[in-house]
Structure 1
Amino acid sequence: MKNLGRFLIALGAWLVLLYAWPVMHHAQPTADSTQSRVKRHTKLTHPQNPLLKTQGPAKFINQPATKLVAQYGQPVKQSVEDGLQSRWLFQLNSRHYVEATIDDQTGTTQQLVVIGQDNAIKPFEFGQSLKAITQITTIPANYELNLHEQKFQIELNETQQRQRPLIAFKNKTYAILVMQKGGVATVVYLNANCLLQSNLYPVTSMTPVPVPEVATGQSQQVDDERQLALLQYCQTLRLNAKLPELRSDVLLEADQLFLATLKGAPKTLLTDAGEQRLKRAKQQRQMALPQKLTEADFTTKALEDYQLTNQQFFYFEQPVSVQQLIFERQTNPAFYRAIHDQAYQRIQIICTEGHTLVVIGE
């Protein structure tokens, strides 16, 4: 009996072990699987940036410039910058502004600036609020760009997300929506290379940012194109703001003499403070934000001699471009007043030898 009892106890222990082992063995992988699923879920909390269907002017980026001509007609103005790239102006009237940057080596469109109520910028609209934009797409704070087999990480702060949100399209191009007074005022379409070279958004990765090739010198053709583009830009935004078009004064002989004297013999025109300001402007010529002189920097006699009394004028030692105004208009009083102040009815813009003179009056 004792032997039978021991046998039954041993049998029972063996059966318990036999049935318990698979359960114990199965439980451990389940825990591991759960942890694995948690880890995978954590990775998915940072989804990829939303990519919009390629539409509107975004479809022209990185494409032959001939497609622009098919859409907008022949450019009314073209300027070549040292054989590196060309700038084309289209539809030059006060309701439209379309400026393209063309790579002269490949003949493709690198960047496109579009302004004007009549220009299609699907899926967006001019004057559209940020709230309406977020109903079309989300505006991420981080983007990953691929260029020349390298990856770049850029980051938008809250102000940039509100004032110039960045949109990505499926064809690996981008759009910067420039907001003014609560609505879309300008759209800049561009490829990854132009986006990185613009320095608009900080690059948080350690990847070296491509350096743009800089044109050496300013030809009169480039100055003429810049002068025309600046005037058209001001007129288009004024009409979009429902303000009357500015009257553009013709270039007077007195203005030409004024600029020639300012370049050759500035001491005959400037006050002591004006001389110091001009000296600083020359030293800071390469800065992104143009340094300016105003009528307060000139003597009363100089203003009378050159018929510049009772007018506001701004002289910039370096070139002023439309792209600068798009992103820095509120810090450039000359153009900000010309665009937004209905008291002004006249404007004169003179670009010569890389310098810029803006005269506005009532």
Structure 2
Amino acid sequence: MKHRGILFSVIFIGCIFLLYMYPVWFPQVSSDPSNKNEIRREPPATSWNYEPIATDGFAKWIGQKLADFETVYGNPEEVYSSGFSFVIHRYTIDDQTYVEVNTEDKRITSIKFLGKENDTIAPFRFGMTMNELAKITMIYPNFTLNYEGKTIAFELMEDDMNYRPLIAFDNGTFAILFFSQKKGESSLYSVMYLDKETLLKLAPYQVTDGVSPRFTTEETADWEVINQNKQEQSKYLFQFLRNYDRLPEFILDAKNQMLGEQILGGFFAKTEEFLTTERTQQLKRIQNGTEDGRFTLSRTEMEDVLKEFSTDTANVYLELPVYDPMFTILTWYSTPYLHTRFMHQEPESLGIAFSKENVVVLLQQLENKTEDSDAN
């Protein structure tokens, strides 16, 4: 009996061991054929911090004088104030390239590049997949940075790691890589190089420790001019992306633009009529900087706003804070449900309204539209 008891115990313990080790020895493989070329990356449960890679491409220009950059790339086509601490310079290299450079005190703080020229974005290349990126560097989910004597930590969520991974360089700069939402395997279509302060102020990822610094408005900012410039540049970039996806351009209708401006102004004039008390308080916390993150309208809230303005053929999207329009639009383009919303196959009428850090995008169906448009 004693030997039988020992034998039973050995067999029982062996079975338990096999049960728990089976998933490790024989991991499950997805049977979905659409997943065979692309690995979905979920943030691992780890506190490992990032490791930088060698500085290359446009990362070398971050922190350098704008005058030196322009000796290589020429003068900008347009320059306008952001209304905050930086100035935006737009360059035209060719009809397939869109470049914006942000500066503070005439030094480069970020470069946003959308196009097909690969030499300037080495070691990356446009069209590369996430699997190809993984051969260059590990995709890190956790970043801990020191800023003005304080520690700030943030984490990349699953969508961030798959569509907007963050890469660090050994000169202290960073790059956000934007991957497309086309069918099949996603591919790299844009890169934003930026310094640590700009990264923390844009706050594209979820902060897990500390408080992110914020952009402050300039006392002498002419917001009427700034809002108009941002509206025009945003329309230009949306059209560029439509052409990039080989889709028909948006119709730029003056009436739709005016409606977008009315919606933006009307929402903030009577916020309590569209939001619950809890949501109103959340909006105020984000506005005054006591809560990180972005505020957007839910589907129900959007429907209520559109009813107020007697339109049921439109799609409205409101977000704040938006400091850098190009960064925000690239983020929308690489976000699955927003890409679907802004990149319909059918042509639509587009209106974009800015009010400081607040933006509304209004897409209007064309069934009831007239031929009266002011497309540029």
Alignment TM class, shorter chain as reference: 0.5 to 0.7
Single out whichever of 281-290 and 108-117 deviates more from structure 2.
Answer: 281-290
Q: Quick one: distance in 1 between partners of 2:269 and 2:84? A: 34
Q: 1:191 is matched with which residue?
A: 195
Q: Quick one: distance in 1 between partners of 2:117 and 2:53? A: 25
Q: 1:225 is matched with which residue?
A: 229
Q: 2:34 is matched with which residue?
A: none
Deviations 1:182-227 (A, max 9, x none): 11132111112222333334567x7x55623421687112212221
Aligned partners of 2:249 and 2:347 also within 8 Å: no
Any idea what SS the aligned residue of 2:295 has?
coil
Shift in Å, 1:110: 0.9
Shift in Å, 1:58: 1.2
Q: 1:11 is matched with which residue?
A: none
Partner amino acid, structure 1, of 2:327: Q
Q: Quick one: distance in 2 between partners of 1:325 and 1:171? A: 27
Q: 1:17 is matched with which residue?
A: none
Shift in Å, 1:143: 4.9
Larger gyration radius, structure 1 or structure 2: 1
Distance 1:110 1:255, change over 3 A: same
Query: TM (normalized to structure 2)?
Result: 0.63
Q: 2:250 aligns with which of 239, 246, 249?
A: 246
Aligned partners of 2:179 and 2:187 also within 8 Å: yes
Q: Quick one: distance in 2 between partners of 1:47 and 1:83? A: 31
Larger RCO (CA within 8 A; separation ≥ 6): 2
Q: 2:80 is matched with which residue?
A: 79
Q: Quick one: distance in 2 between partners of 1:151 and 1:298? A: 42
Aligned partners of 2:110 and 2:195 also within 8 Å: yes
Shift in Å, 1:251: 5.6
The question of 1:49 aligning with 2:48 is answered no
Any idea what SS the aligned residue of 1:185 has?
strand
Q: 1:347 is matched with which residue?
A: 350
Residues 117-196 of structure 1 aligned to structure 2 (within 5 Å): 117-118=116-117, 120-143=120-143, 145=145, 156=156, 159-181=159-181, 182-196=186-200
Deviations 1:289-330 (A, max 9, x none): 333764653458x53xxxxx5631426385643333433557
Any idea what SS the aligned residue of 1:316 has?
strand
Distance 1:188 1:278, change over 3 A: farther
Distance 1:266 1:97, change over 3 A: same
Partner amino acid, structure 1, of 2:124: F
Q: Quick one: distance in 2 between partners of 1:162 and 1:290? A: 22
Residues 14-25 of structure 1 aligned to structure 2 (within 5 Å): none
Shift in Å, 1:175: 0.8
Q: Quick one: distance in 2 between partners of 1:339 and 1:256? A: 15
Aligned partners of 1:281 and 1:291 also within 8 Å: no
Q: 1:262 is matched with which residue?
A: 266
Deviations 1:321-350 (A, max 9, x none): 3333433557797x6356421113432223
Q: Quick one: distance in 1 between partners of 2:314 and 2:124? A: 37
**How many matched pairs?**
299
Distance 1:280 1:65, change over 3 A: farther
Q: 2:216 is matched with which residue?
A: 214
Partner amino acid, structure 1, of 2:316: F
